[in-house]
A and B are shown apart, each in its own frame.
Chain A
């Protein structure tokens, strides 16, 4: 195997590992922000291409995953901005198509229904509240980490998270998610 081929094989492997590392987090953000698996996957795909094109500029000022989060969030924001603003009735928002978890059938159905209600409720939030709360509960980020992704002060992030929780409360209750 020539030196060039070896390097190529090694870099292909590295790129696969990079995709494996970044995609789950990016996809969770995108699907929750956009409320659709299909659109979420498109957004992640575009974000990944953007990241690869700009990888040479990465200077370790932030973590690579934080940088990818930011690119994904920006891509989702662009997509949300292109949508015509309208009030969506909770019943109309599509499911993200999450895979069913393991467990008994009844439990599985209950969990799937709970997720459906939560995702529909998230779709009711404003773009910034949605972004803040999705990131906050992603891997249990802190307001500081969310602030780094959104380039906002942690106190401002806390306010958005607070408002999002306040909006979600009645929606969860309406969907009978309250214990």
Chain B
């Protein structure tokens, strides 16, 4: 085993990815090569120091700020899907009425015009009653990640 091979394999060992069959050879090289023994010691030290590094604490004021931002984001969320469907539901019959009135002889043009006017009125009606600011239309988090974070559970377990 060359020193270069040792470095790669020792790294794999630290990552828990070294096949058991290679372990003995790696350890043997470490014992026989002073330079690689020093390298291994240094890598073990880096590994230990990195593992011991504590996570960054979330400041309470930052947490509060995030709550505020997240709730505001969710409350002003607009899902375009229901509005697009609503428009399609109105525009489609109106277009059909227009097409029938225009291309089918015998069907009075006035009927198509009435249908367009009716459709327009319906659009104004639905637009006036649509929610301005609410969680309506926002994807239901509970549906997405299961019954979210009950005590003692984590999102990872649920998702």
Do the two chains bind?
Answer: yes
Residues of A within 8 A of B (CB): 4, 7-8, 10-12, 14-25, 27-28, 31-32, 37, 40-41, 44-45, 48-49, 52-53, 55-56, 58, 60, 63-65, 96, 98-99, 101, 114-115, 118, 133, 137-138, 140, 142-143, 154, 158, 161-162, 165-166, 168-170, 172-173, 177-179
When the two chains form their complex, are residues B144 and A172 in contact, meaning their CB atoms are under 8 A apart? Answer: no
CB < 8 Å: which of A53, A137, A142, A169 contacts B51? A137
CB < 8 Å: which of B51, B54, B67, B145 contacts A19? B67
When the two chains form their complex, are residues A19 and B134 in contact, meaning their CB atoms are under 8 A apart? Answer: no
Supply 21 A–B pairs (Cβ within 8 Å), ascending by A.
A8-B135, A12-B71, A15-B74, A16-B67, A19-B66, A21-B149, A21-B155, A41-B59, A52-B74, A53-B73, A53-B77, A58-B145, A64-B144, A98-B56, A158-B12, A158-B17, A161-B15, A165-B14, A169-B39, A169-B45, A172-B45
Interface size on B, residues (CB 8 A): 53
CB-CB under 8 A for A101 and B54, given A18-B141, A158-B12, A161-B11: yes
Which A residues are in CB contact (< 8 Å) with B7? 162, 166
A172 to B58, CA, bound (A): 26
When the two chains form their complex, are residues B159 and A63 in contact, meaning their CB atoms are under 8 A apart? Answer: yes
B12, B58, B63: most-surrounded residue (chain A CB, <10 A): B58
Instruction: Determine the residue in chain B with the shortest Cβ distance to A144.
Output: B17
When the two chains form their complex, are residues B155 and A18 in contact, meaning their CB atoms are under 8 A apart? Answer: yes
Interface residues of B in 113-159 (CB under 8 A from A): 134-136, 138-142, 144-145, 148-149, 154-156, 159
CB distance from B77 to the nearest CB of A (A): 7
B2 within 8 A of A: no
CB distance from B4 to the nearest CB of A (A): 12
Which A residues are in CB contact (< 8 Å) with B142? 10, 14
Which B residues are in CB contact (< 8 Å) with A56? 79, 139
When the two chains form their complex, are residues A32 and B50 in contact, meaning their CB atoms are under 8 A apart? Answer: no
CB distance from B56 to the nearest CB of A (A): 4
